[in-house]
Amino acid sequence: MTPAAATVTAAQATTTTAAEAHGFLSPTGVEIAFLLVGLVTFGAAIVTVTTKQLVHAALWLVVALGGLAVEYLLLTAEFIAWVQVLIYVGSVVVLLLFGLMLTRAPIGRSPDADSANRWAALTVALAAAAALVWVVVDAFRTTWIDLDGPAAGSTAVTGASLFQSWVLPFEALSVLLLAALVGAIVLSRKAKEAARGTATASPRSAALGSAAPRSDSDKEGVR
């Protein structure tokens, strides 16, 4: 743990870990920006997984994902950054919020947002973090990314590689998206039917007049 902790602090550029030309003690501007945005992102992520207000968690997730988009920009991957903003911040989080609404998640503080597994989870997460950070720092403390020159992730570059080298997986991905689309429809349609079924089944008098399979399944359900 202690060496891992030491390397974590080293990664925070406070100790004297040696790098050939680029010491951790003399960070560049990009690095400082990355560090600050990273701290914000990490903080937002922490709040996301610990807050007791479920809707706040979704909103903090927006911050974290947005922070990641900024990091992508800092890494000169601009196309990915915009995709991140569009898809995650634009759709995923909105979907999640809809989900929260539809499951009638409580607005405001819910004291049982965390399960009883919390301490085990914390232990596992800390151990994993220690191990990962230790390994990553140990492996890459001297590696330097040269961010000068043309952007590595501009739209042109990404589009070229995507539609030259990755066109087949790209098409396959469309099949996957189609399958997901169909799956989601099937799942929610069944859910809708089930919801209607429970709605009609709950008053017993109404259930009496319904069709034969309905009563069959009702019996099974009772059994």
Partner 1 sequence: MTTTTLAVLVPLLPFLGAVAGLLLGRTAPGFARPLAVLPSVAALALAAVVAVRQGGGQAVDAATELTPTGSVPVELALHINGFAALVAILVGLVATCVQIYSTGYLRHDPRYTSYAALVSLFTSAMLLVVYSGDLMVLLVGWEIMGICSYFLVGHYWETPEARAASIKAFLVTKLGDVPFLIGLFALAADTGSFRITKILGNVASGGLDHPTLIALLLLAGVAGKSAQFPLHTWLPDAMAGPTPVSALIHAATMVAAGVYFIARLLPVFAASAAALVVLAVMAAVTMAGSALAALAQDDIKRVLAYSTIGQLGYMTGALAVGDRGAAVFHLLAHGAFKALLFLAAGVIIHAAGTNSLAAMSRMKDLRARVPDAYWTMTVALLALAAIPPFSGFFSKESVLGAAEHAAVGHAESVPGAAGWIVLVSGLVTALLTAAYAMRLWLLAFHGHGTEAPDHGKQPVAMNSVLWLLALPSLAFGLATGLLPDWFDGRDLTPTLTTAVLGTGVALVGGIVTYGAWRHTTAMVGRVPLGAVAAHPDADGGLVEAEAIASHEPAYGNVASAPDPADPGRLLLGPLHRHAAVGFHLDAVYAALFVRPVQAAATLVRFLDREVVDTYVRGAGTAPRWLGTAVRRAQTGNLQTYVSALLAGTVVLVVAVLLVATAGA
Partner 2 sequence: MHLAYPAVLSALLFCTGLYGVLARRNAILVLMSVELMLNAVNLNLVAFDVWLSKTAQDTLHSGQALTLFTIAIAAAEIGIGLAIVLAVHRNRGTADIDKLRDTAEHGDDDDPDDDSDTARSEPAEKAEATA
What is the rounded CA–CA span in Å between residue 150 and residue 78? 12
Min. distance of Cβ 143 from partner 1 in angstroms? 18
Give the nearer residue to partner 1 in terms of CB position, either 123 or 161.
123
Give the nearer residue to partner 1 in terms of CB position, either 127 or 181.
127
By CB under 8 A, the count of residues binding partner 2 is 109
Question: Which pair of structure tokens corresponds to residue 20?
Answer: 């050939």
Q: Which of 5, 30, 36, 124 binds partner 1 (CB under 8 A)?
A: 124
- Taking CB under 8 A as the criterion, which residues in 91-110 touch partner 2? 91-92, 95-96, 98-100, 102-103, 105
What is the rounded CA–CA span in Å between residue 155 and residue 150? 12
Residue pair 100/54 in contact (Cβ under 8 Å)? The answer is: yes
Does residue 56 interact with partner 2 by CB under 8 A?
A: no
Does residue 79 interact with partner 2 by CB under 8 A?
A: yes
CA dist list (Å): 223 to 43, 148, 198, 210: 50, 70, 16, 19
Binding mask 69-98 for partner 1 (x = CB under 8 A): ------------------------------
What is the rounded CA–CA span in Å between residue 85 and residue 173? 20
Does residue 128 interact with partner 1 by CB under 8 A?
A: yes
User: Tokens 């945005």 identify what position?
Assistant: 37
Q: What is the CB-side half-sphere exposure of residue 136 using CA atoms within 13 A?
A: 10
List residues near partner 1 by CB under 8 A.
Answer: 115, 117, 120-121, 123-124, 127-128, 131, 135
